[in-house]
Structure 1
Amino acid sequence: MGPERHDSFYDLMATWRPISADHIAPVVLMADPRIAKLIAPERAREILTMRRG
């Protein structure tokens, strides 16, 4: 992911909101095999621990 896309991604993650009380992360990023294979394990951990909204 290029620097511009990386910055855009983080901007979007900062505005992400859960759709229910038990929706704690945008799980589709890890569950969709087409997307998951693009995300390195360390980046996945970073995404899942980011502060949101």
Structure 2
Amino acid sequence: MQEDRVVLALVCLFVVTLGTVYVLESAVLWVFWGATMMALSGGLLVRSNRET
């Protein structure tokens, strides 16, 4: 149940920040956003694999 909430929070964060970056149309923000999302999703994947 806890993992579901974490995934839902990550999806919400992803959608909101994606919309913001899309509206602002900045190449620097796109790169920063992509790197941040990769780090967050990768970190959560590693964390969930270590817990099981």
TM over 0.5, shorter chain: no
* Greater helix proportion: 2
TM-score (norm 1): 0.36
Highest RCO, 1 vs 2 (Cα 8 Å, sep ≥ 6):
1
Larger radius of gyration, structure 1 or 2? 2
TM-score (norm 2): 0.36
